[in-house]
Structure formats: structure tokens, C-alpha cells
Structure 1
Amino acid sequence: MPDVTREVQFDTVHGPSLVAQASVSSATLTLGVEEEFLLVDPRTGRVVPAAREIRERAAGAGADRLVFELTQFQLESNSAVHATLGGLHGDLLEMRRAAAGAAAGAGLALLACGTPLDGNAGVPPLSPCPRYQAMHREFGAVMRGQGVCGCHIHVGIADREEALRVSNHLRPWLPAVQALAANSPIADGRDTGYASWRALMMGRWPSAQPPPFFRSLRHYESLVDGMLAGGSIMDRGMIYWLIRLSDHVPTLEIRAADVCPTAGEAVMLAGLVRGLAETALRDVRAGVPAPDVEDTLLHAAYWRAARDGVDGHALDLLAGVRVPAWRLVDRLLEHVRPVLEENGDWTPLTLQLDRLRHSGSGAARQRAAYARHGRLREVTELLMTQTAASCWA
């Protein structure tokens, strides 16, 4: 079994000056990240329903913030609230290493991967929670094959009306966020043809889609009330819009991403999302209107991002043309550059992005490992190594 704490070759630390820079930010918005992980047999890559044992085994910093997820073969980590990207990275890494160490002690592996690699076609073993059992009874076969893993980024915006206006500004950038984070090309033992199969699996839930353009908080609440009345959601926890208001913390939650292969990539994504949110918040307060992107085109662009990731093409919603996906990422960078430079986040984030361009996306790295000999074990070993590695600029 590989050492789960060893450095991955494509993602090593490059020196203390950049680490220090990432740890000092003048950003106005705080960040928190939720990450979901799989527990697997390291020899076969098959999921193992051992969440309770692994949570009980976990010790050290971060272990107390590991929680159960939908299935018994998943764990979720909940970060603290952070003002700096360096602080967020250290937090995510502590929780990943606590969970990975506990899994290794039980002869298992923790994987940061959006979908189970080798078979999860039936109804998964659900965590012993009455709510999850009720979801199975209500939604039936939608539950088949579930147990996918995402990365949810919380940006601190206390005013809910203002947060919804920020959501409207973020909508056109959701495909770029998904493309950067695509990390689930393999499911049921084969390449699905999608960079993010998780996005397709999540899309089976009635509310798991890009959010509408919200006219007001009253409009938001009326839509939620309608979904509750119609039964497409059982409770407010099932508002699976890719951007939603949190009901338990004062944040706007962005839910468009697969769980990232490394903690460094998760921090990169969180930093870009915060840059988007801060840019949007400035526009909101300056009275700049949000682009009212048509829902049909937003869905089309998000599907393209799930299919191609950053290794293919993207639909540029603001220009109305198909472009190489990295060109859309470059447009996002230019859009948020003033905020990132003011915050001191520009250099570490662009270094991490350059590393990603060089090493390939999470989906591309999985495919390369699988293509060498057509064995899931090599993909499993890659994911094990990445999951608990140190990997920030």
C-alpha cells in the first residue's frame, strides 16, 4: 500500500515565501469548505461501508470535524471559517490526513474522487439516518448509484438579499468552476466519456441544477415553498441548486464542483470562487446588473463542462460561442484579477493553476493512470497518493 502522506510529484511545495503570501490576505469575505470522500479497498478500488469505524479510529487535528454522509462508504470533512487561503489549506490537509490515516489503519483507503470507481449500481448502503431512509422511500430509483462526492464552498455573506444578487452574477461562471474541478471520469469499472460523471449523477435529483435568476429573497423563498409543496424536495436540506443560501450559517454555498484530488486544488478552487464572489459583491453594490443568462443555455454550458472538463471545450455564455475550456478559465482569471491582486491571492492561485495546466486535470490524471494497463488499482493508488498529499503554493 502506498504511503498516504507522501508528496505527489506534480504538486510539491515551492517555498516559504509563497506560503507566507497565501497566509496573509486582505479579502473581505471568509471561506469554508466541505469535502466528501470515498472509503475503498485499496486492492480493488471497490467502496467499503466502513464510515463508522473510520470515524471512530480518526484522531488528531481535524478528526472531530469528520462527519457521516449519505452512504456508509463516504465521509465528509467540514472546515473551520478562514480568512486566508494558507489557513484553509492547512485545515483541509489536517482533516484529509486524519481520515486517510484512520482508513489505512483499517486496511482501507480514503479517495478524493467524485464517483466510485468499480461498481455502485444498486441502492447504496445508506447511513443509519431516518432522513436518508425517507429519501429512499420517496425518490426510489434515483437513489441507485448515488454516493458521489463533491466540494462545497461557503463564502461569508450575511445579508441574504445581497447574497442572492451575488448568486445572479456567479451563474455564468458555474461551468468554468465545474470544468476546473472535474474529477470523476470512471464509474462502474470503465471510462464514462465524461470528465465529471458525478455531475450527471447529481443531476438526477429534481433540484440539482444551476440556480434560477433570483428577483429577490421573496422570489427565492417562493420557489423553495413550491418545491416543498410539490414534493420535489423533502426539506430545505434538499435544495441542491449549484448555488444556494445556507440555512444554518450566514453564507452563500457554491456546489458545482467534484471533490478535488488534492487539498491544494480545493484551495485554488475556493480562492477563485471567493474572487468571483468579491467581484460580484462590488458590482452589486455599484449597481452593475448581473447578466441574465437563459436557463437553457446555462444548462447546456454546465453539461459541456461536465463532459469535457478543462481538457476539451466550453460554452462561453457571455460571448455565445464554443471555446477551448482553458480560454474560459483565462477569462475568469482576468475577471477576478483586480480582487485577487488586492487580496494577495493572485500569485499563489496562478501558480496552482499553472501546475494544473502542466500536470493535467483530476479527470485527465485518472484517465492516464487507467490507460497505462487498464487496471483500476493504478487509479486507486494515484488517488490515494493525491488525497493526503501536501500541495499548496
Structure 2
Amino acid sequence: MLDRARLSLGVEEQFLLLDPRTGVNRPVTEQVMAKLPDGVRDRGRLELRSSTVETATGACTDLRELRDRVVRQRRAAAGAADDAGAWLAAIGATPVGEPDTTPPARPRHRAIAQRYGPVALDPAVCGLHVHVGVPDRELAVQVCNHLQVWLPAIRALTGNSPLFQGVDTGHASWRSVQLLRWPGIGPTPWFSSASDYDGTVEALKTAGVMFDEQMLSWYARLSPARPAVEVRVNDVCTDVDDTVLTAALVRAAVATALADIRAGRPPARPRTCVTAAAHWRAARDGLAHTLLDLRLGRARPAWELVSEFLAVVSPALLGSGDLDLAIDGLDRLRRVGDGARWQRETYRRTGDLRAMLARLAQRTAG
């Protein structure tokens, strides 16, 4: 049995700041950050867009602790946003527009804007990043190899960005598509060792694709700060319950990968282009239709593949005490749908995009 204490867990959530009158992005990040209480501000980070706020829970030991931190940080950020005249919205991509794309007055942000040109001026996107601690970097590399076949299904669980410029894109996660304009993003390559991983990162830096390892945006990567795996495929979730569910499933997938590694079971190695196609399909349709099973190379009903994923990681969920939460959470998702479905249904019912965004902001703050 894996030592549960070694599988610490944390999440980073990114939020949009919206103008309550128009729904467009509002560039008041620095005002909001200044109003956050010390315990939350210390874990925040200034992003490239001045209309986003990011909070991080730090490492937790169980899901109750994680949930408490997420709730506390969201409430604090929503209050600070309100004081700054904005809505805090857990939504994966800019739904209306971003009139002001001036980067924050920081040397790093200015350098990024100069290096990447118009790509760096794209409207803001917001993700959910899940960090799971592992014993060492060598194991972290192997875990990333094993995770590849399940990451499209994990992505499909959190589609929460169907809108762009006020219009339905037809995608569950437009954020996933928009991010592909950046270099250094996509499926994680297969690596034989940590030195192989590090050598590739150095080659990308030499090529000028990124300034440093922090800019690396593979769908699963090694944490630059400590022995941990970061899964970065998900849109930010409107509901706290979905955030906690996603974190539980990612940790279980990492624990399952560690068990496979120690048992000598090798990972599947689908072609990179097929893996990219599986992610496109997950971003396009979410849980509504089919997903590509990378182990078999064929399409399967989305919920059939998700159910199989749950079966594979159930021993790890049972060991961490999270199995009932995962089963209940997936049952709820199957009934009510993901964030993209909620946005579409609410927009259709109200006929008013601003009204939908107002309700989304209320749900964000709990």
C-alpha cells in the first residue's frame, strides 16, 4: 500500500475579473490583490493578463482540508473583487472580450509580450492546476509517462469555457484550443529519466520557446519547486465540488501510476499526434459524445471511458478514503453536466449573457 502521506495535494485556481455592467474583462488585478487578506495574498500570483487572479492552496493532506482552503480563498477573492468593482468568475476563457490587453508593469511580463507578440495579447484564460507530491523526480517523470492515456478523460470532466466574444464556440473548453497558439504546450513527451526531461527543457530554453521552466505548459509536468507532478489540462471549475472531485481523481491517477511503476508495468506509448487528437476531442465535446481511448486507439462513449478510468483508480481512491466522494461526484456530473453545459443552459433559459455571468459569479463565491 502506498504511503498516503507522501501524496500531498494542492490546487491552483485562476479566475477572471469581469465588469458587472458589460461582462467584459476588467483590468483590476493589482487592486484586488492589494485587498486580499495576508494568508490569501501570499499565495496569489500576478498573471500576464491584468484581469485575472490566481490563488493556490499549498500542499494539503486530505480533501476536507483542500476544500476548506478553496472555499476560504474564493470568498476572500470574491470580496476583494467586489471592493474593486468587479465580479470574480470561475470560467475557463474570456466570454465577452478584453478591451485592455496591456500586460502588468513587470519586466517579465513585458518581456513575454515582446517575445510572443499578438499571442501574448490573447484574451485571458483560466485553468485549474492540480499538484500531487511524489517521492522524487525520477518517479515523477515515470508518472507523467503513465498519466498520458487518462489525461483527455480528466480534461473532459471540467469543460467550462464554451463562449468567445459572446458566441458559443461549439467547444466545451475553448480555453484548451486558444492555448494551442503558445509554443511549449501540448501532450507531455515520453521521457526515460529526469535527466532526459531536464535536457529537453534546456533545449527548449535554448530555442527561445520559453524563458524558464515555469513557462513550460505540457499537460503534465514536473514541478520546478519540489518533487511533484502538476496536471494542467483542466479549465477552472465554477463549483468547488468539481474542483475537489478533479483533485481527488488526479491524485488517484498518480497513486495508480506509482503502483504500476513499482510493479514493473510499462506505460502505453500512443503517438503524440494521436494524443493531441484525443485532447482536441475532449476539448471539443467534453462528456457529451465520445472520447478517444488512447490504449485502444478507438472512440468510445465518454461516460464509458470515464467509468473505466474510475475502476482503474478505485483502489487508490479506496486507500485514500476518497472513493465515495469520487463516485458521488461523477454521478452528479453525469446528471447535471459540466460547467459548459450549465453556461449554455443558463444562457438559453435567460437569453441574457450578463445575467448568466452574474449567476456564475455567485456560484464562484459559493
TM-score for both structures, normalised by structure 2: 0.96
Q: Is the 8 A contact 1:119 1:187 kept in 2?
A: yes
Tell me which residue corresponds to 1:179: 156
Q: Is the 8 A contact 1:123 1:146 kept in 2?
A: no
Q: How does 1:187-206 map to 2 (within 5 A)?
A: 187-206=164-183
For the residue of structure 1 that corresponds to 2:296, the secondary structure is: coil
Shift of 1:326: 1.4
Shift of 1:83: 1.1
Tell me which residue corresponds to 2:341: 364
Shift of 1:123: 7.2
Shift of 1:246: 1.1
Matched, 1:73 2:51: yes
Q: How does 1:77-156 map to 2 (within 5 A)?
A: 77-120=55-98, 124-156=101-133
Q: Is the 8 A contact 1:79 1:92 kept in 2?
A: yes
Q: Is the 8 A contact 1:66 1:95 kept in 2?
A: no
Distance in 1 between residues matched to 2:285 and 2:276, nearest whole Å? 14
Distance in 2 between residues matched to 1:229 and 1:81, nearest whole Å? 32
Q: Identify if the C-alpha distance between structure 1 residues 42 and 322 changes in structure 2 by more than 3 Å, giving closer, same or farther.
A: same
Q: 2:227 aligns with which of 238, 250, 260?
A: 250
Matched, 1:333 2:310: yes
Q: Is the 8 A contact 1:123 1:141 kept in 2?
A: no
Matched, 1:374 2:351: yes
For the residue of structure 1 that corresponds to 2:217, the secondary structure is: coil
Distance in 2 between residues matched to 1:46 and 1:232, nearest whole Å? 30
Tell me which residue corresponds to 1:316: 293
For the residue of structure 2 that corresponds to 1:76, the secondary structure is: strand
Tell me which residue corresponds to 1:294: 271
Identity level (%): 41
Q: Which amino acid aligns with 1:295?
A: T
Distance in 2 between residues matched to 1:377 and 1:60, nearest whole Å? 32
Tell me which residue corresponds to 1:237: 214
TM-score for both structures, normalised by structure 1: 0.89
Shift of 1:360: 1.2
Q: 2:326 aligns with which of 338, 342, 349?
A: 349
Q: Identify if the C-alpha distance between structure 1 residues 163 and 55 changes in structure 2 by more than 3 Å, giving closer, same or farther.
A: same
Matched, 1:45 2:11: no
- Aligned length, in residue pairs: 364
Where do 5+ consecutive residues of structure 1 fail to align? 1-24
Q: Is the 8 A contact 2:14 2:52 kept in 1?
A: yes
Shift of 1:82: 0.7
C-alpha RMSD of the superposition: 1.6
Offset from partner CA, 1:28-58 (integer Å, 9 cap, x none) = 4110111100011123211100111111222
Q: How does 1:3-22 map to 2 (within 5 A)?
A: none
Where do 5+ consecutive residues of structure 2 fail to align? none
Q: Which has the higher contact order (CA 8 A, sep 6+)?
A: 1
Q: Identify if the C-alpha distance between structure 1 residues 60 and 161 changes in structure 2 by more than 3 Å, giving closer, same or farther.
A: closer
For the residue of structure 1 that corresponds to 2:32, the secondary structure is: helix
